[in-house]
Amino acid sequence: DAKTTQPTSMDCAEGRAANLPCNHSTISGNEYVYWYRQIHSQGPQYIIHGLKNNETNEMASLIITEDRKSSTLILPHATLRDTAVYYCIVRDGGTSYGKLTFGQGTILTVHP
Amino acid sequence: KAGVTQTPRYLIKTRGQQVTLSCSPISGHRSVSWYQQTPGQGLQFLFEYFSETQRNKGNFPGRFSGRQFSNSRSEMNVSTLELGDSALYLCASSLDSLVYEQYFGPGTRLTVT
């Protein structure tokens, strides 16, 4: 699976959009981009995933660049409850069989 | 729909003992994956089961094993416990092994003394 690079930490004001970047310059054609988050002492929570097109669900939007070498997770109106570690994961859709490779992630702190 | 459940939530064992952890996936999910989370190594993949077959395995010693039952419930076993096995053990379920998203349980906190 391709390696990802994320900033170690980011801050965001409550009510503002949080934009979390992820670099995956070695991504291959069959690899999907997944985002998960983990709130302290809880199991990771699935947020969103995509292959080529931008995706949106009730939690967030995922913007993938045209060359697929980077992506951005957007939380449109961050709340204090969005404070968590956010993981960007690239996963082979054909061979990974259940395996998610977690990096260090980005610690997002949402301030009042 | 009920989420992924794991039992027990907390466990204290002594070095050399063995332990069995249980995971009940979301109804209809056939894939169960297991992960170990420690402060030093982060989240690491242990293995994955789909329809009672292990389809993928991470880089862990043979002391770590698992199985899946016909109702998709899964157990993992750690034999001859070492202090370094102290960790949060997480299971995740999914509709299938490949593309679909995984939903994680709350984890079992294992402490080895």
Give the pLDDT confidence of B34-74 residue by residue, as tens digits: 999 999 999 999 999 999 999 999 999 999 999 999 999 99
Token pair of A104 as six digits: 């260090």
Using CB atoms, pick whichever of A34, A43, A99 lies closest to residue B45.
A99
**Inter-chain CB proximity A101 and B4 less than 8 Å:** no
Q: List residues of B whose CB lies inside 8 A of any A CB.
A: 4, 31-33, 35, 42-45, 47-50, 55-56, 58, 88, 90, 92, 94, 97-99, 101-107
- Mean pLDDT value across chain B: 94
Contact residues for A27 (Cβ-Cβ < 8 A; gap 6+): A2, A33, A68, A69, A90
pLDDT digits over A2-50, tens only? 699 999 999 999 999 999 999 999 998 889 999 999 998 799 999 999 9
DSSP-based three-state secondary structure for A78 = coil
Distance from CA of B15 to the nearest CA of A (A): 24
Q: Counting one residue from A and one from B, how many pairs have CB atoms under 8 Å apart?
A: 67
CB neighbours of A95 closer than 8 A, spacing ≥ 6? Answer: none
